[in-house]
Amino acid sequence: MKKIIFLLMLFFPYFLFGQYQYIQKYMFVFPNEGLESKQSPSYNSNGNGIIPCGQLLFLTYKTIEKYTINGISDYWYYADQMGANSGWVFGGYLTNRFEANLFLGHWSQGRDNYWLFNNDGWFSTGVKETDAGTHGNFKFVDKNNLILIYFEWDDEREEFIEYNKTEVRLQFINNDKMLFIFNNYRVELIRDNGWE
């Protein structure tokens, strides 16, 4: 009997953890409809709830083997959400970068210019502490960091301007610095949390 208990204690950790690898990684949920977390790493497992699109996940385990769902091969990851939606998520629906949320807020362009992106799809840009500027709407297009900016209003002249759509590609240097790339221009923006 002691021998059986000893063997069980010896091999139990392998059976429990042998199919998973410990990791520490952050990734974002990409599908617009969100992603259901599962109780075990299986498509047919019971769900724990929907994690919304753009949610940053802290991943602590991944399966050793890849699985295929809807023609996509990837690992299952355990997302430790510290709450009800913790569970297994399929890696094919995660992305390393999801700038749709990261670029929102106040940004400075040089010493005097600013950009402000609100989460309702509205933006403004101009010269700080003046009436010079413009505003309009923007739309995040895809996971390749393309946004469409629609300039609609000139604050200084107080008139509508010709409706102008500009495609802008975002490139993040880090969470506090990004590049706007458009029409062969590269504009560096620095996050400015202190500006109101």
Does residue 187 form part of some domain?
A: yes
148 with 166, same domain?
A: yes
Residue-level pLDDT at 158: 59
Averaged pLDDT for residues 120-132: 82
Does residue 106 form part of some domain?
A: yes
Contacting residues for 180 by C-beta, under 8 A, at least 6 apart: 168, 169, 170, 186, 187, 189
Q: 44-95, pLDDT tens digit by residue?
A: 999 988 887 767 788 999 999 999 998 889 999 999 876 667 899 999 988 7
Among residues 73, 95, 117, the one where a domain terminates is 95
103 with 91, same domain?
A: no
Does residue 4 form part of some domain?
A: no
Residue-level pLDDT at 145: 61
Backbone angles phi, psi at 157, to 5 degrees: -85, -10
pLDDT exceeds cutoff 80 at 128:
yes
**How many domains does one find in the chain?**
2
- With 0-12 / 13-18 / 19 or more C-beta atoms within 10 angstroms meaning exposed / middle / buried, residue 179 is middle
Whole-angstrom distance, CA of residue 118 vs CA of residue 122: 5
87 with 133, same domain?
A: no
Q: Which of 121, 132, 125, 126 is nearest to 158 (CA)?
A: 132
**Between 67 and 1, residue with greater pLDDT:** 67
Does residue 196 form part of some domain?
A: no
Among residues 95, 126, 143, the one where a domain terminates is 95
Whole-angstrom distance, CA of residue 136 vs CA of residue 125: 9
- Straight-line distance from the first to the last Cα atom of the chain, in angstroms, rounded to the nearest whole number: 72
90 with 105, same domain?
A: no
Among residues 48, 73, 95, the one where a domain terminates is 95
Residue-level pLDDT at 196: 47
54 with 134, same domain?
A: no
Q: 129-181, pLDDT tens digit by residue?
A: 887 788 888 777 765 566 777 777 655 555 555 667 778 877 766 667 788 88
> What residues does 153 pair with on adjacent strands?
135, 160
Largest CA distance in the chain: 89
51 with 109, same domain?
A: no
Does residue 184 form part of some domain?
A: yes
104 with 183, same domain?
A: yes
Domain containing 127: what range? 99-191
**Between 59 and 118, residue with greater pLDDT:** 59
pLDDT exceeds cutoff 60 at 3:
no
Helix and strand counts by DSSP (H, E) for the chain? 2, 17
CATH for 112: 2.40.128.370
pLDDT exceeds cutoff 80 at 31:
no
Residue-level pLDDT at 28: 79
25 with 40, same domain?
A: yes
Residue-level pLDDT at 16: 45
- pTM of this prediction? 0.47
pLDDT exceeds cutoff 70 at 32:
no
At residue 7 the predicted structure's pLDDT band, cuts being 50, 70 and 90, is: very low
108 with 162, same domain?
A: yes
Whole-angstrom distance, CA of residue 78 vs CA of residue 61: 5
Helix (H) / strand (E) containing 100: helix 99-102
